[in-house]
Structure 1
Amino acid sequence: MATAPVIQYGRRSGSSKKKHAVEEKKELQPPDLRNVTVLPKAEWLRIQGRLNHSNKYNESLNEASKQREAMHLQSKEVVKFWSNTIVGQRQKKLEAKKIREELEKEEKKQIDIEEAKYQEQMRKAAIEKAKILQYYETDRVKGFHSALLLTEVLKEREAQIELKQKKEETSKEVNTEIMTLMKRKEEAALELEQQKALQRKLDSQATAEKLKQQARENAMDREREMLEKKKEAEELQQLKELFLWEQDMQKKRKEDEKRNIMQTHMEHIANRDIIRAIEAQKQEMEEERRRLYAKAKQKMSKLRKDKEEEIYREVQVHREKIINKLTAQQEEKANNKEEIIAKAIAQQDAKLAQQHDEKEAKRMAMLDSIASHREAMRQEQEQKEKEDLQNAIELLNAKKEADRIFIEKQHLKAQKMKEDGRTLQDLYVNQMAEKRAKEQQIRKQQLDLETKNAELIAVEEIQFQQYAKKVIDTATEAKKNTYPLLKAARDGSGGGLGPIFGGVRPSYLVQDETGVQLPSYVGGESQDVKDLNETRDIQQSKKRLGFTW
């Protein structure tokens, strides 16, 4: 079998590019079957086995792991129901725990049911209690309880009155004994007071003796004080004389000091006059020097002034020379200026003439333009009038068309309003029918409500009368005053004084600014008069009045 040469790292040494290109062309050509080697099957399988050896090894490993897993599952299924294994014991414990939890759950359910029943009973009891409390909070029951409280108060008052009477009876018997005892106490107190008065008298006598003794002692003390004061006065007199002598000595010393001071002052005044004379002499010398200095200064200023006048005169002469020279130059310039002015005037006249010609040409051009503008404006005005006329005709036609359309719209609008009116009328009729039906329904509901309310009032009245009867019977057995209870337990709810109407006893008020309730005059006599005047049987009334037909 011929093999192609192997080339590594580029072209083979000793070969050229052309030769390499020829070899590439040969390789691209189809193989020659005469040069192809055919392998036997065994050799081919051997080569394939060597190449696929790693894949078979992996497959065998996977197969072995699957077999082990199947055996493990089979062993688990076998030992699953064994009781002497760790897993079996754990399973048994779990089952026992599950059964125990189910039993506990059933017990808790039973406890919850019992608790729910107990809570239901408590709720019912609370509701009943709330109903009773709510019933007690009604106005009628509160009024009845107030009457019951009044009954208790009246009973207590009667007991207190009875107790007071008993106390008064017992106090009458005790008063005599108390009076006797009080007399004895007064006699003993009077005797004790007499003894105290005697003792006070003796005490006052002893006190008087003591006061006399104290007065004598005070007189002796005053005499001693007078002697002491006299001695003190003599000593003070001596001290006063000594003080006056010292004052005289001080006055003498002060007079001597004053004389010395005066002498010193006079000497000072004499010295001051001498000093003033010396200072005056010095001032005169200073004044003389100032006068000499002023004279010298005046002389210097006069010399300076003369010098300035001389300089001024020289300056004036020089200035006059300059002015004369400038005047000559100005005259020469004036002659030249006249010539220049003449030339300028001629140029100005020529310029003005040229400007006048230009203005005239502009004016003529302006007049021509104004005439052409007027003609254009006239033509434009005529064209505008024609257009306005055409627009007016078109506007008139448009107005006629708009009027026609408006009339048609108004006609359609009237038809629509008529149809809307019919629809609205039907709607009103339906609404009125619905309103009437609704009012009838509301009236029916009100009647039903009033009926139910009357039934409830009747039931409440029965309950109240039963409750009031029990309380009144209990109060009667306790021998209490039952009049307030009987008054509060009258038929009909409400605290009014009027007749019963619909199970309610209303209140009738006076029609004035007071607004108080009308009193009730229902009594035996008024009831007899009512029975006498009220007509129950017309035949009986006829007989009573004497009518025979």
Structure 2
Amino acid sequence: MTTVGILSQNIGPHLGYYPGDFSQPFQDDANATDARSRKRMEPVIVSALDLKRLQQKLEGVGVEERIRQMQKEDREERYRLSKARVSRWDNTIAGQRRKRLQSRSDRLAAEEAERVRMDQEYAAEEAERRKAAIDRAKQLQYYQTDMVKNFHSKVVLFEALKERDMQVALKKERAELERKRDLEYAREEEPKAVAAKQAELQVQLEVRRRALQAQQDLLDQLRQKQAREDVEAEACRREAETLTRLDEEFKQKQKEAAAKQRSQRAILRQELLNMKEELATRNAADRQLDAEESRKADEWADRKRQQNIKKKERERTWFNESQRMRQCIGEQTAKEDALIDAKIDEAVAKAMRDREEKVKRQEKEAAEKKRRQADELTTAYKSHIRRTEIQRKIQKEQDQEELKEYVRLNEQATSERKVRKQELLRKGKELQDVHLREIALHTAQRAKDREEQLANDRATLAVHEHDDERLQAYMKSLAAESWAQDNARLQHYVHEETSKPKDQRPWRLADKHWVDTGKRLGLTSNKYHPMDVAGTNEICRGDFLSVVGKATSRCGSAAGGATVVCTPQPSASPANSRPASSSTIISPRTGGHCKQGRPAILERLPAVHV
């Protein structure tokens, strides 16, 4: 019961903090509900002290309660004073924390002030750099103007000429030094050259003497060689006579064998020619085969000739070795030739038999192929006749449909042309009224633009004069530089340019001088532009095209297939409220001529101006 009484009172800040409601005990929801239900069922036991306290509360505050309240107030006052005194101490946790927070705030304030100072310094430096960059950009932009670039090009030219003069002078000095050096070197080397020349003459004499001795030795060797060659020539002559006789005998045999081969080849070629004439209408395979056979025959003849050449070389070698070996080889060669000829004859006979069989087989295949082609051609022709009949019927039906569609489209186009013609006449009238209003507005605008242009021209002239003066100052400052002092051409040019009066100076900005825009565009001072005046006349006026540069022109095809032919008309002044008009003849497609007046078919239509 004591605990409940204490918790039901306000504890106060000097004892602690209770986050709940002091009037209610701290229990769980379920436990509190059960406890309340049980308390309602149980009887309440009140002690005498509690009963007395309740009675005092009902009757008023008693002495003890007042004492307790005074003690409580005294404790609270002492607590407040103690707290105020402790709050100023630095050796407490709160004091240390307060001190740290104060030092931190002071440090942050100092850092912020330093950052502000550095930002100001950086801003000042950035402004200086920006100003320097802007000045540099303006300077570079000024250097890119035509007058400064022209002056810079002349400065570069003068510097190049100056450098060239210096190089020419240096070249002359170097040439003179080189010539002097060569003379001194020649005087120093002259004794050495004389001694070297004498030594060279001695060497040449010794070489010539040795050459004469060598020539004498060679002459003796030649004489000995000539004697040996005479003896060898006699032996060779006798051997050559023997070889010639044997060679003639061998050639005679070769001629007989060649005559036999030529006769056989002629017979074979004649047969091949006859077969070629008979098989002229056949495929290219036969001709290729004949050519292949001829090539093989030629190759065989070539191989035969090569064999004969090799045999001759071999025989000559054998003749040099011994006469006996030559005779044996000749007999063996004759046997080999006989065997080769027999093999060739057998191969030719076999080729002839194979060719005859192949020709018969090809003739049979060609006849069968021709019969098949005839059957296919007959079938294809009949099919073509049937398809042609079907296509003719389909085409006839399509032509009838197209004719009907064309008649319908022609009627529709005729009605559309009539409507479009009426619409064009109405729009032409509206366009004429709008254009007349635009002319009046444009005249006033041109007068205003002329005044603005004059003001701009005066301002431009002032700018040009300022630029010219600035260029004069820049030229003088550049001529006063140390590197330009010794350049006579540059100094003379700057003096000439800066000493001229303003009225005698050439215009430095040729591409920016004042131009009479009216004269350049072909305008007059009191009249409207002819091209605009031409647009105030009738639709498709020829005068408009003549202003562009054509004397006469056709405006193109009008609706309905007609051609609008335009003729030049005299231009009108914008002072007139209604410019002079002339009619335009719309000629048919077959032709027509441009003339004044309106045809009878158009007399009922009102005059239209644009």
In the superposition, the TM-score normalised over structure 1's length comes to 0.37
Provide TM-score, normalisation by structure 2: 0.34
User: Counting helix residues as a fraction of each chain, which structure ranks higher?
Assistant: 1
Which protein has greater RCO, CA pairs closer than 8 Å, 6+ apart? 1
